């Protein structure tokens, strides 16, 4: 048998109400954001910079090492 006809469908709000709700949720989330102090921002930036330098060194070393290995094997 088919579903009973008296079951209610989930009513979807119209497009303008959904856009309004979306914007309200964005504003609510932006109010939760904590802005770092200048000192915190500096040290986080420094940490990211050092991490990127370490990864660059790792990739450079792997590139150099694998290049030498390929030249040794096929050279």
Q: Considering its fold, how many domains does the chain have in total?
A: 1
In a domain? residue 38: no
Q: What phi, psi does 8 have (nearest 5°)? A: -90, 140
Of 43 and 7, more confident: 43
In a domain? residue 60: yes
In a domain? residue 50: yes
In a domain? residue 29: no
In a domain? residue 9: no
In a domain? residue 62: yes
Q: Is 45's pLDDT higher than 70?
A: yes
Q: Model confidence at 10, in pLDDT bands (50, 70, 90)?
A: confident
Q: How far apart are CA 34 and CA 45, in angstroms?
A: 16
In a domain? residue 69: yes
Of 58, 60, 40, 38, nearest in space to 48 by CA: 40
Residue 53 belongs to domain spanning: 44-74
């Amino acid at each position: 048998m088919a579903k009973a006809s008296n079951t209610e469908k989930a009513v979807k709000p119209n497009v303008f109400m959904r856009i309004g709700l979306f914007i309200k949720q964005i504003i609510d989330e932006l109010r939760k954001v904590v802005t770092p102090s200048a000192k915190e921002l500096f040290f986080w930036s420094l940490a990211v910079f050092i991490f990127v330098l370490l990864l660059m060194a790792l990739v450079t070393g792997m590139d150099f090492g694998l290049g030498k290995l390929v030249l040794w094997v096929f050279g």
